[in-house]
């Protein structure tokens, strides 16, 4: 399969509600949308989830734009990609590009979508997914007050979400969890610190062991497995790693050293769906549960997350909420909604199974660029 064109769109979309974490407060979300077209006119879409600011990870829309244009696109456009496995061929070509997993994931996703459309197969089928609908939860940002947080949790439970995740940071942790637990004693609940603690300050979280949490997500630094191992030894509650796992090797090492007992898999963070499936398989072989994380994706990335979360070892609900939790107007025509049983249905049309609303995409695009094969 020879690509005829790659187009990148730098997109900025207003969020329905500001999203606050230990690393900052977002009112808008940026990302890069990737459009890949083959010589027959088939089109595949991808989403690179790097944000405007390097708060969650070092990649930004600016760095990803640069890496995509200068290195990844030329590698993909150079010569025909392997027809049976274009995503794997692309990853082989860009192995010499160190890091930048989100940039790689964005282009890889477009190749999966294109491959699925060319072969008439859904991404779920291509990846080996087994569920038609997947259980989902909601990730709630830091709120102005504890009361506001408890109200917000109640609102989402009333909508039918089966699992709640709340963001924490030093000083806004045990008190918030205690209040939510008092109000909702049996709700599946977990917390996410986005690396806001050190081994020393994390000892303040010890009371969380008595609140029957599903897990504590990424309490310590993103580049640190060893201190997570030390912390896990002090906690009964499973530690779950997010930021620290950016490749299958990190997942293997984290499990070997007992630095985590659960893994959050985000296809963007780990460099694409191929790596995401590899991490899923590795955890499955060791009986370690995984769940699908989110990055406030548009309908494009959301469709990919749903397909991924349909694999058998995604046994915990994902951060894959309904479209209206994020955006009043999305860039896909499909809007994802919550089923009565707290699941979202996995698309089953070819590729990602979505159609892009080009006028919405245009309305949110800050800049775009188009690249073609060398003459
Ligand atoms: O740490 O899981 C995270 C959003 C952006 C960046 C990092 C994270 C998040 C979320 C929201 O928690 C997940 C979602 O609903 O998409
Ligand atoms: Mg997280």
Same domain, 188 and 208: yes
Q: What is the pLDDT of residues 232-273, one digit of tens each?
A: 999 999 999 999 999 999 999 999 999 999 999 999 999 999
Report d(CA 264, CA 318) in Å as an integer.
9
Residue 352 lies in a domain: no
Place of tokens 């060791």: 286
Angle between helical axes of 273-285 and 101-119 (0-180°, round to 10) = 100
Would you say how long the chain is, in residues? 375
Report d(CA 208, CA 110) in Å as an integer.
41
Same domain, 129 and 116: no
Residue nearest to atom 6 of ligand 1 (CA): 295
Report d(CA 45, CA 9) in Å as an integer.
11
Which CATH number characterizes residue 84's domain?
A: 3.30.390.10
Pair 51, 15: CB distance under 8 Å? no
Report d(CA 356, CA 360) in Å as an integer.
8
Q: Residue 114, Cα to own-chain centre: how many angstroms?
A: 20
Residue 350 lies in a domain: no
Domain membership of residue 63 as a residue range: 3-120+358-371
Report d(CA 4, CA 80) in Å as an integer.
10
What integer pLDDT is reported at residue 188 of this predicted model? Answer: 98
Same domain, 75 and 135: no
Residue 353 lies in a domain: no
Ligand at shortest distance from the CA of 57:
1
DSSP summary character for residue 291? E
Residue nearest to atom 1 of ligand 1 (CA): 194
Residue 11 lies in a domain: yes
Q: How far is the CA of 244 from the centre of ligand 1 (A)?
A: 14
Which tokens belong to 375? Answer: 């003459």
Question: Taking residues 209-227, what's their average pLDDT?
Answer: 98
Which CATH number characterizes residue 277's domain?
A: 3.20.20.120
Percent of the chain with pLDDT over 70: 100
Q: How far is the CA of 215 from the centre of ligand 1 (A)?
A: 15
Same domain, 250 and 269: yes
Ligand 1 binding pocket (C-beta < 6 A) is 56, 139, 192, 194, 242, 293-296, 319, 321
Residue nearest to atom 5 of ligand 1 (CA): 295
Same domain, 362 and 328: no
Pair 219, 205: CB distance under 8 Å? yes
Taking alpha carbons only, the member of 201, 191, 236 closest to residue 221 is 201
Same domain, 161 and 115: no
Q: Residue 345, Cα to own-chain centre: how many angstroms?
A: 17
pLDDT of 321 strictly over 90: yes
Residue 150 lies in a domain: yes
Question: Taking residues 298-302, what's their average pLDDT?
Answer: 98
Question: Taking residues 55-60, what's their average pLDDT?
Answer: 97
Same domain, 255 and 271: yes
Q: How far is the CA of 139 from the centre of ligand 1 (A)?
A: 7
Report d(CA 90, CA 75) in Å as an integer.
7
Report d(CA 294, CA 201) in Å as an integer.
26
The angle formed by the CA atoms of residues 181, 291 and 57, to the nearest 5 degrees, is 95
Same domain, 94 and 178: no
Q: How far is the CA of 294 from the centre of ligand 1 (A)?
A: 5
Question: Taking residues 202-212, what's their average pLDDT?
Answer: 98
Same domain, 231 and 82: no
Band (pLDDT 50/70/90 cuts) for residue 375 is confident
Report d(CA 352, CA 343) in Å as an integer.
18
Residue ranges near ligand 2 (ion) with Cβ within 5 Å: 192, 217, 242
Report d(CA 123, CA 274) in Å as an integer.
12
Report d(CA 62, CA 51) in Å as an integer.
9
What integer pLDDT is reported at residue 297 of this predicted model? Answer: 98
Residue 105 lies in a domain: yes
Same domain, 218 and 339: yes
Report d(CA 118, CA 2) in Å as an integer.
12
Residue nearest to atom 14 of ligand 1 (CA): 294
pTM: 0.98
Active-site residues, by number, are: 167, 266
CA atoms within 13 A on the CB side of 246: 17
Same domain, 84 and 130: no
Q: Supply the mean pLDDT for the chain.
A: 98
Cβ neighbors of 258 (< 8 A, separation 6 or more) are 229, 232, 233
The CA–CA distances, whole Å, from 212 to 171, 187, 215, 247, 342 equal 20, 10, 9, 30, 21
Report d(CA 205, CA 55) in Å as an integer.
23
Residue 351 lies in a domain: no
Cβ neighbors of 171 (< 8 A, separation 6 or more) are none
What integer pLDDT is reported at residue 99 of this predicted model? Answer: 97
DSSP, collapsed to helix, strand or coil, labels residue 166 as strand
Q: How many domains does the chain have?
A: 2
Residue nearest to atom 8 of ligand 1 (CA): 295
Nearest atom, ligand 1, residue 141 CA: 12
Question: Would you say the C-alpha torsion 51, 52, 56, 58 has a positive or negative sign?
Answer: positive
Choice from 21, 136, 164, 320 to test ligand 1 binding pocket (greatest atom count within 8 A of CB): 21
Residue 324 lies in a domain: yes
Same domain, 209 and 74: no
């Amino acid at each position: 399969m020879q690509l005829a064109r790659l187009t990148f769109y730098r997109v900025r979309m207003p969020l329905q509600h500001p999203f606050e974490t230990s690393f900052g407060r977002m009112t808008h979300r940026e990302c890069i949308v990737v459009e890949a077209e083959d010589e027959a006119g088939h089109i595949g879409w991808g989403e690179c989830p790097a944000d405007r600011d390097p708060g969650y990870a070092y990649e930004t829309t600016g760095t990803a734009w640069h890496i995509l244009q200068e290195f990844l696109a030329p590698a993909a456009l150079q010569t025909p990609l392997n027809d049976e496995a274009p995503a794997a061929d692309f990853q082989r070509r860009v192995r010499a590009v160190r890091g930048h997993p989100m940039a790689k994931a964005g282009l890889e996703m477009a190749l999966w979508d294109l491959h699925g459309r060319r072969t008439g197969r859904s991404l779920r089928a291509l990846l080996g997914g087994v569920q038609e609908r997947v259980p989902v939860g909601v990730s709630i940002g830091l709120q102005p007050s504890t009361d506001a947080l408890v109200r917000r949790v109640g609102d989402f439970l009333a909508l039918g979400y089966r699992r709640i995740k709340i963001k924490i940071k030093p000083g806004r942790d045990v008190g918030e969890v205690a209040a939510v637990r008092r109000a909702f004693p049996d709700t599946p609940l977990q917390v996410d610190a986005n690396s806001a603690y050190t081994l020393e300050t994390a000892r303040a979280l010890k009371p969380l062991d008595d609140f029957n949490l599903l897990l504590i997500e990424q309490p310590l630094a993103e580049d640190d497995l060893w201190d997570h191992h030390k912390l896990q030894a002090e906690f009964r509650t499973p530690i779950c790693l997010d930021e620290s796992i950016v490749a299958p090797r990190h997942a293997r090492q984290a499990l070997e050293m007992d630095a985590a007992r659960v893994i959050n898999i985000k296809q963007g963070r780990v460099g694409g769906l191929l790596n995401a499936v590899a991490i899923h398989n590795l955890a499955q072989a060791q009986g370690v549960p995984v769940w699908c994380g989110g990055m406030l994706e548009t309908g494009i990335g959301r469709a990919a997350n749903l397909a991924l979360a349909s694999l058998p070892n995604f046994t915990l609900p994902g951060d894959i909420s309904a479209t209206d939790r994020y955006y009043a107007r999305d860039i896909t025509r499909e809007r994802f909604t919550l089923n009565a049983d707290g699941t979202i249905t996995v698309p089953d049309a070819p590729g990602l199974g979505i159609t892009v609303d080009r006028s919405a995409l245009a309305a949110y695009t800050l800049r775009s660029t188009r690249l073609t094969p060398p003459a």
